[in-house]
Amino acid sequence: MINTLDVTKSGRHIECDQFAKFCHDIQSPIRNIANFLQLIKTQLTTGKMEGICEYVDFAIDNVDVLNKISKSLFKNDNNQNSKVDIQKAVKEIDNLFKNQVKGINYKINLDKKIPLVSGSYIDVFRVFKNLIENSLCHAKANVLAITIKTISKADANVSIIFEDNGRRLSLNKKNSIDCILNNSHNANERLGLTICRDLMNKLHGNIRIVKERPGCSYELVFKTFIEEDNARR
């Protein structure tokens, strides 16, 4: 016999979990929009029109991110077999962050030969957005270098390394995301990595820590996009 109370609790837990992840992912674009609106207000108050159009464009870009995240969380119409360009996603994220990051000299070194992967664009976008946000939070001496490159490609999968030169990870000899989730005292870091892990599972991929070294180093395994397979669907 099914316990309806347990089912209700389980459903509520899932809804709360989704809401927490949604709140985490929209913090950055909401903060950006507020900052850009404040800049516009300052310019108008002082009678200066320069830069206003640029600030408006930045705010619109962040509204677009909010829209994408909302659709990915509250609709089940994501096509998990779409052709996704990781370079495009990372460049879009970089454009968002370069206009909000203050006091950190950072650069993303992006492999120009990363193959297309199969999945949902916004899910891939959110994975890299959370990894980059964590890296920016752990920059040492206000200087950060992030490298994203392909390490192997097969017919079914492509493996990508994401690494930075920020804070060293403490792994307790385990290359496990769960190890960080259990030991990190940073709530935003834990939630961001939880989102990455869950999204990679949704994408039928995987994320793991490669090695302990200065900074963070993750291996992400995505499904390779195969044109013939999608043509048959």
DSSP secondary structure of 33-92: HHHHHHHHHHHHHTT--TTHHHHHHHHHHHHHHHHHHHHHHH-S---TTEEE-HHHHHHH
**Average of per-residue pLDDT across 2-29:** 58
Q: Which CATH architecture has domain 4-74?
A: Orthogonal Bundle (1.10)
- Domains of the chain: which residue ranges? 4-74, 82-232
**Of 19-23, 24-28, 157-161, 215-219, minimum mean pLDDT range:** 19-23
- Residue 124's pLDDT is 94
Q: Which top CATH class is 82-232?
A: alpha beta
Confidence band, pLDDT 50/70/90 cuts, at residue 205: very high
- Residue 173's pLDDT is 46
The per-residue pLDDT for range 120-146, each reduced to its tens digit, is 998 999 999 999 988 887 777 777 889
Residue 110's φ and ψ, nearest 5 degrees, are: -110, 125
- Residue 17's pLDDT is 63
pLDDT at 103 over 90: no
pTM recorded for the entire structure: 0.74
Largest CA distance in the chain: 71
- Residue 142's pLDDT is 79
